[in-house]
Structures are given as C-alpha cells and as structure tokens.
Amino acid sequence: MIISSSSTTSYSSSTSNSRGKYDVFLSFRGEDTRKNFTDHLYEALKRRGIITFRDDDKLEAGEAIAPELFKAIQESWCSIIVFSETYASSSWCLEELSEIVKQKNERGHKVFPIFYGVDPSDLRKQTGKVGEALTRHEENLKENKEKTQRWRIALAQVANIKGWHLNDSASNDMIGIKSRFEELHCKLDMGDEDDLVRVIGICGMGGIEMQPNGEAQLRDSKEILTRKYSTGFK
C-alpha cells in the first residue's frame, strides 16, 4: 500500500479535529505479518505523522483480549485490518474485529481492510481456511454460539468493504528498484582496469528476509553485481 503525500495531507486535515487518542488502530495476526508487512506499514504511518496503535508481544501473550485493546479501538479514528492467512484462526483477532465493527456501526468508525494473501470471497462466504478456522472455534466454544456468530457477521461485513489486495507471489518486481540499480551501477563503475575493492552493504527493516520476492531480488542483485564487477567485488 502506497501512502502519498497528498493523501496524507487530506487524511491529516480530516482527522485534525478528531478527539480520538489515535489516528489508526492496526489489527493483524502477529505470527503472519508482525515482522514483515505490518512493521513496514507501521513505520510508514509513523513517518507521515499518523498516530498509530498496535499491540506489542506482551499484550498478545494473554489468553483473553486485553481491555487496553478495546479502549484503543474506541479511541481511534479508524482501523486498518490486515487480513492474513491465519487471521481467522485467532480468537484474539476476531474479538478485535468484532469490536471494530461495533464501533463502525455505532459511531462511524472508519475501516480500511488489507487482504494480504487472502481472497475476500473466502471471508465473505467463510470458505477455505477461514471456514475451517471458524468451525474449530465453534467446536471449542459450543457454549457460546453468540460469540462465534458475532465473529462470522463481522468477517462478512468487513469483507464487503473495498480495500487493498496484496499478494507476495503476484509479481517478482520490486517497485522503484530499477532506478536504484542504475544509480548503484554508475557509482560502482570506476573503470574496467582498476583493481579497487568494492564493498556493498544491503540493509533494511527487519523481516525483509522473510519476504520471498525481496529475498529473490537481493539474491539476483548480488549475482548481477558479481558478474558485472567480478574483479574485486565483495
């Protein structure tokens, strides 16, 4: 998801009069996206001056959803929900989602879904892994059918909201990487006859090694640079 300066400006003006403590509440499955996509999204929001709440590892370690999370949702202008492969497997995530939908229906809380490697139709129709997860919840909560029904309704409602569709395997291209390579090639191209040693450090936010496309691109980049600068390249 790309956050442009113009969209940020309009977002800031629309929330400047908000009384909420947070601009955004991030709902996501930690084991799926905490160390990769959600980290990048959270840092991007922070850089734009958007006050964002996301739970830490200590909060998520509890068995029951912490009251702090309900309060954070209620004090946020909007929620961004990152639906990932095992989001519906977490009763914690589904309780968050249920509260988000409640706030949306009762006070106009804004909701922006991101479908990260999942099909929205699976959420709407509750088929595939989503349906399997909900069936397991119903087996474990036979005495509380009201709760699981509330989760089903919340999933179906949010799945009907227009959002962003992201898929790691959709493309092998990394946005903006070509121009960076061209700049790097120019800086490294000191002549074919020199014997200087070039040392290149590739760094970034933690979790990039978990992204299949990112890993492939970095591996391919090293191979390209090694071939081009085979003398004295490290």
Q: Is the pLDDT of residue 117 over 50?
A: yes
Asked if the structure places residue 29 within a domain, the reply is yes
pLDDT digits (tens, 9 = 90+) for 135-191: 999 999 998 999 999 999 999 999 999 999 987 554 444 555 666 667 766 766 655
Q: Is the pLDDT of residue 232 over 80?
A: no
Asked if the structure places residue 27 within a domain, the reply is yes
Residues spanned by the domain of 151: 22-188
Cβ proximity of 90 and 60 under 8 Å: no
At 223 the pLDDT is 56
Asked if the structure places residue 209 within a domain, the reply is no
Q: How many CB atoms lie within 10 A of CB 83?
A: 29
Asked if the structure places residue 204 within a domain, the reply is no
Asked if the structure places residue 11 within a domain, the reply is no
Residues 6+ apart with CB under 8 A from 210: 35, 36
Asked if the structure places residue 79 within a domain, the reply is yes
Instruction: Work out how many domains the chain is built from and give that number.
Output: 1
Q: How confident is the model at residue 36 (pLDDT cuts 50, 70, 90)?
A: confident
At 135 the pLDDT is 95
Asked if the structure places residue 78 within a domain, the reply is yes
At 13 the pLDDT is 41
Region 6-12 average pLDDT: 43
96 tagged catalytic: yes
Q: Which of 42, 56, 120 is nearest to 84 (CA)?
A: 120
pLDDT digits (tens, 9 = 90+) for 63-110: 456 788 899 999 999 999 999 999 999 998 999 999 999 999 999 999
Catalytic residue among 96, 132, 182, 223: 96
Q: Which residue has the higher pLDDT, 130 or 216?
A: 130
At 175 the pLDDT is 52
CATH number where 159 lies: 3.40.50.10140
Region 212-218 average pLDDT: 49
Asked if the structure places residue 86 within a domain, the reply is yes
